[in-house]
Amino acid sequence: MRIGWIALLVGLIGCSERQDTFDANAYLTRVARVLNMDVPVISATYVPRMQPKPRPLSDTRIALTDALKLGPCGLVPLIAERNSSLGRQKAASQQFLYEWSLAVGLDDCLAQAEGNSDWLRTARAKKIGDREAALWNLLFASETSDALQSSLDSGDASLADAWHRYQLAFVEVRRSALLGLEGHSIPSSEQQSTFEQHIQALETTRFHGQLRRALLDIYHLVTVMIPMQQQHITRNTLCPLGKPTEQGRRVQGMLTTYFATEVQPHIAAIRRYQIELYALWQPLANSLDLPRPLDARMDHLLQLPPGTNTAYVEALMTHIGHWQEILSGCQLSVALATTKTND
């Protein structure tokens, strides 16, 4: 298991306030100033959204003569709906509710079946798979997923506000999803309506897109700053004789004040959102085939290219490791603590 995360300056992360707002250009400008360098441009690197394709549903059809035998189970209307052209054009949330209802109904029919019911067992097995595929499509390959991944402003005052709304909605969506996967009973009209309302509330948070943007902003910033640090480490301009120059003391001052109060809390907040997002999805992990490692799951949930979160973490560790190296070479120190998570 990979041990990861970043060395963080000053204080305990767990006790610090979440800081969602962060001015990347302000940090870059301060670093360039204390290192006596020109301010580089942060290029807007395009990171593609890795949008998965919908999982196909089986084309399971039940013949009319067989459907009539299912009359006592109450499935004839559902089967007729599925066999119609309109029934094959459902919204993703409605499709999941339909597959949930049909799978439970087929279970009931199978329990009441008399004689040769191989066709019923075959249909049931396929619809169980369709139920899981429909849930996967709803969460990862649908208009709901598109809304969650949107980087447009959600209207929330902060990422924390969006996260609060996201948690409230997702807990309810997850509750219904687990009930559907367990398949003990057909959802009532009220349950279906409530499920749709929570799906709509979840979409409006756009939380995955907001978190994705915040992560990539830090990643691109740090990628620009690492060469600046490396240049000063190589030249040893801050401590030419092992003793700090005035410039070296300015670096120490910037780290113990601005970095500790503005940069570190923002970096910590992003990671805490990821850890909590991981836990929030965990009850659905097996049914949805979610990756187990934290960084791999974040790539999947935020629809980032594989390895992006790992590279992000490594860049942050390098960035802060360079600050440590610069200060130790100057015989200066700041209160450094390393927080690690087992991925």
pLDDT by residue for the chain (343 residues), tens digit each? 333 434 343 333 444 455 667 899 999 999 999 988 999 888 778 899 999 999 999 877 666 566 666 666 767 667 666 655 444 557 999 999 999 998 888 888 887 766 667 878 888 888 899 999 999 999 999 999 999 999 888 999 899 999 999 999 999 999 999 999 998 898 999 999 999 999 999 999 999 999 999 999 999 999 999 999 999 888 877 777 777 788 888 888 898 889 988 898 899 999 999 999 999 999 999 999 999 999 999 999 999 999 999 999 999 999 989 988 887 777 665 544 444 444 5
DSSP strand pairing (7-9 vs 341-342): unpaired
C-alpha dihedral (323, 328, 333, 337), degrees to nearest 10? 60
Q: If you count them, how many residues does the chain have?
A: 343
Q: What would the DSSP string read from start to end of 37-79?
A: -PPPP---------PPPPPPPP-----HHHHHHTGGGT-HHHH
DSSP state of 186: P
Task: Give pLDDT, residue 331.
Answer: 67
Confidence at residue 246, expressed as pLDDT on a 0 to 100 scale = 85
Tell me what pLDDT residue 88 has. 53
Please report, to the nearest 10 degrees, the dihedral formed by the alpha carbons of residues 326, 263, 317, 233 taken in order: -20
Measured over the CA atoms of residue 221, residue 224, residue 230 and residue 232, the dihedral's sign is negative
Question: Is the distance from CB of 323 to CB of 333 less than 8 angstroms?
Answer: no
Look up residue 308 and give its amino acid: T
Of 281, 338, 291, 276, the C-alpha closest to 313 is 338
Please report the pLDDT score of residue 72 as a whole number. Answer: 65
Rounded to whole angstroms, the maximal C-alpha distance in the chain is 93
The pLDDT of residue 176: 97
Residue with tokens 């009539």: 68
CA distance 300 to 286: 14
Quote the pLDDT of residue 141: 97
Distance set, CA 96 to CA 92, 159, 170, 208, 261 (Å): 6, 29, 16, 21, 46
